[in-house]
Each structure stands twice: as structure tokens, then as C-alpha cells.
Chain A
Amino acid sequence: MSRPYIPSIDMIGPASAGETWAIARLISRAEAGVPEVRSAMGEIYRRAGRAHVIGITGVPGSGKSTMVGKLVRKLRDQGQRVAVVAIDPSSPYSGGSILGDRIRMSDLVMDPHVFIRSMATRGAVGGMAHAALDVVDVLDIGGFDKIIIETVGVGQDEVEIAKSSHTTVVVSAPGLGDEIQAIKAGILEIADIHVVSKCDRSDANRTMTDLKMMLKDGVGQALTRGWVPPVLGTSSLNEEGFDDLVAAFDKHLTALDGPAGEARRAQISAFRLKKATETLMLERLRRDGAFDTYTPRVAARETDPYAAATAIADAFSRI
């Protein structure tokens, strides 16, 4: 039942050849953040960059997972290899999680050209999981054409997915018409493509109209310059609307070919560099006990959080 530890760097070859065990194990190590994996991840990053990364986000219960299941089927019909990173929340108390998105995609499991990976947020904010983008790189060298990141159900302000994907889809469900107004400065702004799910319901048209009106009012300037976000309806129940959605992916990908795409990719790189720096800094500060030193003093009100943070930051910049 045991076997010798295979160094991460030696798994790049098999992972690039599409070996599931190697892809899966590299993902685990990237997620765990074991120091040994970092140089391998560097090499993987340099080799990656070929896949089309699609972020799918929306409020809880908007039908994201079911929609992703239908969408993957459609992409497979086109002969594309598809990977799904499905993110669910971690418990804020135990740190554990129940990852149940797979259940809604169970008919895809036996397709060898589909790879589904569940991740927990582990305290990350913005609907994303810690290390989700490292995972995307591994899947990228694994030869997947489309990589779909399904975020946790989000509210209004969790927009990190837009800084992580080439194409961002925001899913709205019918019946939230009153909220449309309230959230128009939030998550709806980041959409490259709007999808109204559950279009078999009679109130779906109203939601689509609301979204179109919102876009007409100039809210939601897409991150891709010169791109007007379409509003599409899908019904997972009747399997309708997915051809148009897949066509919209292709159109958006074409729109990313020029300077707009360069800007988008530069934004993703900047975001990743920032995240990586934050991760390393926090790791070092924790290791050096900076928080342990100051937390009791803040608690005792001998100092305040801002002054303590200034001291920590000053000490850090001298390193």
C-alpha cells in the first residue's frame, strides 16, 4: 500500500502526458503548499498558458454546478478536453468541508477527457480557493483545452475570479429581480458573459430584461475593452441555451486575441504575483512569530492594531 515519495519535478513528465495520478498528486501538493513542490510549480508555470480559463460565479443556488455539468457535455461534443475546478466553502470553525459539486456532474466521471477536482476555500476570500491558480497551471500542462473554475456561491463583492480567468461568466437565477438593482455595482460588473439560469421558469425573461437594461445604463463595463457582455438564457432542465453559451466563449476568446487580451493577461499575472507575495509574507510573519508577539498586546489594548501592523511591516521591510 505504500510507495516511495516521487519528487514533484519528476511528475511533470507524466502530468504533461496526461497521466491522471500525476496531475492529481501535483494538485494536492500545490494545494498543501509543501516547499518541495515550489520549484516544480515554477517549471509548470513556465510551460503553462495554453488553456482557456473560464470562471463561473453566482449566488448560492443559482444553478452553477448543474450548468457546468451540461456545459462540459457540450464542450466534449466539440472534442475539447475539459477540466473543472469546483470550489466549496471550508467550515470557519473546523476548517473541514463537504465538497458536493461532483454529485451534479456524475454523468461525466467516466469520460477520460474530463477531469473534475473539488477544492475547499480554506479561508481564502473572493469565492476562490487557496492555490486554485496553481491547480489551473497543472491542468494546463495536463493538456486540457478548457479549464472551468466554479467558485463558491458568492454575494456581491467576491470578484477575484475575474482577475483569475480569461472569461468570466456570472450566473443569475430568475426571481431575484429586486436584487438586481442592489447588486449592480458588485459582482455583475465583472461579467464577460451573463447567464440567466433556470430559463424554464416563467420569470426568467424579466431577469434577462433587467440585466440588459442594466448593461444599457452603462453599468458593467467588461474587463475586456471593446467587448459588450451578452445576456444569455440557459435551462439545465431542458438542456437549452448551451450552444449559444459555448459560441460566446469562442467569441470572447477571439476578442482576447488583440491588445484587450494582453491587458487581461497582464492583469492576471499582476494578481498572481500579488497573491504569491502575500502568501509568502504571511507565511514568514507567522513563522517568525510576529502575530504571536503583538496579538496579546493588542488584546490588552497596550497598542492598537494599526500601530502593531506598522511595527510588523517596518520590521519586514528591513529584512
Chain B
Amino acid sequence: MSAQIRVLLAKVGLDGHDRGVKVVARTLRDGGMDVVYTGLHRTPEEVVTAAVQEDVDILGVSLLSGVQMTVFPKIFALLKEKNVEDMIVVAGGVMPDEDVVELKKMGVAEVLLQDTPPQQIIDTLTGLVEARGAR
């Protein structure tokens, strides 16, 4: 039994649109991954706590509300505080190009915008986990 990729998908803050993240969850399931979905309106603290307990390979945060530049620094600070610095953090949703550049500088491994085809999402996440290696 080989290690299966585990992903936690989260919606943070007041953003109430979870159609997209549910489609992504389904896509990843069909790609053979275990997907933990935490539901709407979570805080960064809740999301990171859940991701650490679940020990997911990838923490995927979906945002359509424009608060990414506030949320991701918090997530990285919390991961560091909890002694988990090998978790791959991925952003998804709709956001400006200049934010994408900044998020990647901050440590976000990949930003998957609204027009990313499903297979590309699977391939990207699989690639990220393979590049990281055993943990």
C-alpha cells in the first residue's frame, strides 16, 4: 500500500461560494486522492489545526473574496508555530496577477486560478508531492 496523496480543502473567511471548491474536491477524489473538506467560513487557525491533525500533503485554500494577502501570511505563521514546515500550501480561486507573484514569494507553492482544467489541477498537485519526496 503506497502513500496516497492527502489534501485538505478549505474556505476561509466570509466567502460563501463553495461550488468551485466542491468541484475541485470531486476532481481530486477522481484523481485518487483523499480529500478532507472542512466546510465554509473557517478561520486560518481552524484550517491549520485541521490540516496538522490530518497531516495532509497539501493544504488548499480557496478564496474568491480578495483577502488572500491577509490569510496566507497567517497560515504560514501558524504552520511554523505548530512545527509543520513541510506542508505544501496551494491557493485557488480568483485573484489579481500581482497577488499571485507575491503569494509565491511568500511560499505558496502554486496558485490555481479559475480557468485551470481539472486534469491540470491533479497533475500539478501530484507533481508538487513527488518533488517534495518522502516525509
Contacts and interface: CB of A to CB of B under 8 A. Distances in A.
Contact of A110 (B32, B46, B135): B46
A5 B35 contact: no
A21 interface: yes
Interface residues of B, number: 39
A2 B79 CA distance: 13
Contacts of A109: 46, 49-50
Interface in B46-67: 46, 49-50, 52-55
A96 B2 contact: no
Interface residues of A, number: 36
A102 interface: yes
Interface string A9-36: 0000000000111001101100011100
Nearest to B107: A1
A21 B52 CA distance: 6
A196 B49 CA distance: 32
Interface in A149-196: none
A42 interface: no
- Which of B2, B55, B82, B109 has the most C-beta atoms of chain A within 10 angstroms of its own C-beta? B55
A2 to B, nearest CB: 6
- Which of A2, A28, A96, A98 has the most C-beta atoms of chain B within 10 angstroms of its own C-beta? A96
A98 B35 contact: yes
A99 B35 contact: yes
A130 B1 contact: yes
A96 B55 CA distance: 16
Contacts of A307: none
B17 interface: no
Interface stretch (A114-122, A233-241, A248-256, A287-295): A114-122
Contact of A24 (B2, B32, B53): B53
Contact of B34 (A19, A24, A96, A102): A96
Contacts of A317: none
Nearest to A107: B46
B39 A103 contact: yes
Interface stretch (B21-29, B92-100, B112-120): B21-29
Contact of B30 (A19, A94, A100, A130): A94
B39 A116 contact: no
Contacts of A2: 85-86, 132
Interface of A: 1-3, 5, 19-21, 24-25, 27-28, 32-34, 90-91, 93-100, 102-103, 106, 109-110, 115-118, 120, 122, 130
In the A-B complex, the 9 residue pairs with the smallest Cβ-Cβ separation, listed nearest first, are A24-B55, A96-B29, A32-B3, A103-B39, A33-B1, A28-B55, A99-B36, A96-B32, A95-B32
Interface of B: 1-4, 6, 25-26, 28-39, 42, 45-46, 49-50, 52-55, 82-86, 88, 107, 109, 132, 134-135
